Amino acid sequence: MFLEDIIENFDKKGDKEILVEKKDGKYSSITFSEFKKLVSSVQKELGDINKEDRVVIFMENSPLWIASLFAVMFSGGISVPVDYLLSESEFFNILRDAQPRVILTSTQNYDKAKLAAKKLGYKPEIVKVDNVVVEDRELKILLPSMDDVAVILYTSGTTGNPKGVMLTYRNLNHNIEGIRDIRLLNEKDRFIAILPFHHTYPLLATVVLPITEGLPLVFIERLTPADILSTIRDQNVTIMVGVPKLFQVIYHNI
């Protein structure tokens, strides 16, 4: 299973760059060892969540988003990634349906999360992950079974309120194995993160896949063609996961 591959990456590729952030035009790298610390530090904030407890991830794309996902997975919980651009009422509808025990968010999205959660009949824990103190802690590992639910993604592809779609570890693992079977990747590949992680396609292709395969993922600073192109050039990016509209916009700005 892919989680076992990630554990092996923690052990054998500790000094290898896995995430690259861009701030004020400058790049900074996060190694596998540092990423493991991020995951275990976020995991501490989850408390003693039980198997199948839902944990909402409500924030912008970032290394902490990815750390939050794997903190939940290694704790036995179910991640519920949600679009942080939703209105308060739209977010409340998802919270009411998902009934999360914890909401992991960022400072810029905390107020919206707090207001939406206030309308629930109980108080989920709300954690600002960008305030988490990163420590060298032991990572708690509770490996799930293949048929356990890994994530619940809310889709607006039907009428009415978004519906929660459950993806199991078998679903995610099957996609990883399919990509391996066609030998699409090599050890020199580098990914770029553009699409929002709360969708199935980028969740698998720009979060789970590169971390599992031990290939660096680079974050853009701004969602503009100029920044995307400069980041691709500066970081020698070889794989960009996108949709037709994104490729069209970039093409017309080359």
d(CA 18, CA 37): 13
* Residue 31 belongs to domain with CATH number: 3.40.50.12780
pLDDT tens digits, residue range 11-59?
Answer: 999 999 999 999 999 999 999 999 999 999 999 999 999 989 999 999 9
Model pLDDT, residue 32:
98
Domain count within the chain: 1
Phi-psi region of 236 (alpha: psi -120 to 50; beta: other; left: phi over 0): left
Give the residue numbers spanning the domain of 80: 2-251
pTM of the model: 0.96
Q: Does residue 207 carry a pLDDT above 90?
A: yes
Q: What is the pLDDT of residue 157?
A: 65
The sheet with strand 17-23 has its strands ordered as 26-31, 17-23, 217-219, 191-193, 239-240
Mean pLDDT of the chain: 96
List pLDDT tens digits, range 50-93: 989 999 999 999 999 999 999 999 999 999 999 999 999 999 99
pLDDT at 252 (0 to 100): 86
Expressed in angstroms, the distance from the first to the final Cα of the chain is 40
